[in-house]
Amino acid sequence: MTDPRVERLAGLLADYSLELREGQVLRIDSLDAGSPLVLALYGAALRAGALPYTNVGLSGLGETLLQHGTEEQLTYLSPIQWEEIEQLDALVTIWSETNTRALSRVDPTRHAAYIAAQRKLSNRRWERISNGEMSWCGTLFPTNAHAQEAEMSLAEYEAFVYAACHVHEEDPAAHWRAVSGGLQARAAELGSARELRIVGPDTDLRVGVEGRTWLAADGRYNMPDGEVFTSPNETETEGEIRYTFPAVYHGREVVDVRLRFEGGRVVHAEAARGDDYLQSLLDMDAGARILGEVAFGLNYEIDRFTRNILFDEKIGGTMHLALGSGFPQAGGKNTSGLHWDMICDLRDEGEVYADGELVWKAGRFLAEPARAVVESGVHG
């Protein structure tokens, strides 16, 4: 029997995240393990009158390519892939690994060559997404591998994932529309702040955000979602921060990261474990020592760290500050090959001040954003 939560998630993706309309071409990307959600989404898309098709991979094939492929094969992009991109109106990526560590032993330089080649395709995809020519949403189908990464049983992990997407109840779209309203209002309110000061254990950091646009992540690009974010001024970050959760990049963990910023740049960095990796990533390029993102995690259904950035960056009561590339749509100007989200738990002792005023304490904003102000703000 089909899990009704899978059906609801599929409906939510089709109707709310992508707002699929008649005649729109949708490609559904997944691994074989995600098939139940692929099928449910395929059905939801058909019912919306869209033209869905599936692009499903088998676990292990990528690994074989990375292990045995020649350089030409590793960096090959087929004409099929290029032609498809231009014709998509919508794309869904369903992460559904059967082994999250399958690539752990692959030669990093070969892996990097593969990723660099694939980036040409994803750049073109992002170009079309930011031009409004296509929509994209990334989501996850719970597998034992992801559950194992989160140190849960599959049943527990399913409950966690589906609650985070709010598909454990009827009418998740109504929930997300309400969430979206709240996040938009919060983003608008933060838009008037010049500086945020983040205070917590071993953390006292000032981040300049004047003139930058705060954006609401409300379930259109990710499901689950729930954050407001911007790209801070590149030269104004000052002070220290200690990241309580392990920082994960390309499957490798760095534990207990501490950073000191001066004039926007990291001038000192250390980690209890994985320090070499941390230092090598900071030296990747000129932009890797500069913050590209500051964000509030506001999905309170996500209440624990599960080693998956799709969820971790949205944990209600956390902030994440990413090193590396910024978001042009937020006014960010930093460019880098790196975008490394690191998460700071502020649920116990954290405080955030906006232009000197305490706005957040112990993982919550102190006041609801004033929605009426937002609306008059739009017209005034």
Partner 1 sequence: MASVPSRLERLADVLVGYSTRVRKGDLVCLDTGPAAAPLVHELWERVLAAGGHPHLRLDVEGAPELLLREGTNAQLGWISPLRKAEVERADVRIAIEADVNTRANTGIDPERQARAERAREPLRRVHFARASAGELRAVVTLYPTEAAAQDADMSLTEYEDFVYHAGLLDRDDPAAEWEARGRRYEQLAARLGQRKTIRVFGDGTDLTLGVGGRRWIPCDGRENFPDGEVFTGPVETEVDGVVRFTYPASYAGRRVSGVELEFRGGEVVRASAAEGETFLREMLALDDGARRAGEFSFGLNDAVTEFTGHTLFDEKIGGTVHLALGASYPESGGKVESALHWDLVCDLRSRSEVYADGEVVYRDGSFVDGLL
In the complex, the residues that contact partner 1 under the rule CB under 8 A are 23, 25, 27, 32, 35, 38-39, 42-43, 46-47, 49, 51, 53-58, 60-61, 64-65, 68-70, 72-73, 76, 78-80, 83-84, 87-88
- Nearest approach in angstroms of CB 68 to partner 1 is 5
Closest to partner 1 by CB, 43 vs 331, is: 43
Q: Which two tokens stand for residue 18?
A: 């992508």
Q: How far apart are the C-alpha atoms of 306 and 300, rounded to whole Å?
A: 14
Whether omega for the bond prior to residue 79 falls within 30 degrees of 0, making it cis, is no
The SS3 call for residue 169 is coil
- Nearest approach in angstroms of CB 57 to partner 1 is 6
- Nearest approach in angstroms of CB 87 to partner 1 is 4
Closest to partner 1 by CB, 35 vs 99, is: 35
- Nearest approach in angstroms of CB 53 to partner 1 is 4
Closest to partner 1 by CB, 40 vs 271, is: 40
Closest to partner 1 by CB, 72 vs 170, is: 72
- Nearest approach in angstroms of CB 7 to partner 1 is 13
Burial 259-289 (b: 16+ CB within 10 A, else e): bebeebbbeebebeebeebbeebbeeeebbb
Query: 62: Cβ–Cβ under 8 A, 6 or more apart, which residues?
Result: 103
The SS3 call for residue 369 is coil
Angle, alpha carbons 71-98-37 (nearest 5°): 110
Closest to partner 1 by CB, 35 vs 308, is: 35
